[in-house]
Copies of this chain bind each other. A is one copy, B any other.
């Protein structure tokens, strides 16, 4: 458990979603494509994703501008529209500034 000195803040987009149909393969296909696209975006730092009853994807970004650019990226816009029409029963997006972090490794 350690804290970095001189910590440089960055941003997290916390995306919590419930799918209409958890077995719709087209959703997972789109999801993989969006990860590949996001990795090409300037300011993208990485992401974590898990899904059981709900899905949580947290993506990390250098700045609010990098998030804005990703939000308006063409293929992402198409995916957002399809998401609302087709895949998501509900979602909640939070944009948050990461101020501190810690990690632990058992090894």
Interface size class of A (residues with CB under 8 A): 35 or more
Q: Is there a chain B Cβ closer than 8 Å to A23's Cβ?
A: no
Q: Are B106 and A20 in contact (CB under 8 A)?
A: yes
Query: Which secondary structure dominates chain A's binding surface?
Result: strand
How many copies of the shown chain assemble into the complex? 2
Listed A/B pairs (26) with beta-carbon separation below 8 Å: A1-B84, A12-B12, A12-B94, A12-B96, A14-B14, A16-B48, A16-B58, A48-B54, A49-B54, A50-B50, A50-B52, A50-B55, A51-B52, A56-B56, A58-B58, A89-B105, A89-B106, A90-B103, A90-B105, A91-B103, A92-B102, A92-B103, A92-B104, A94-B98, A95-B101, A96-B96
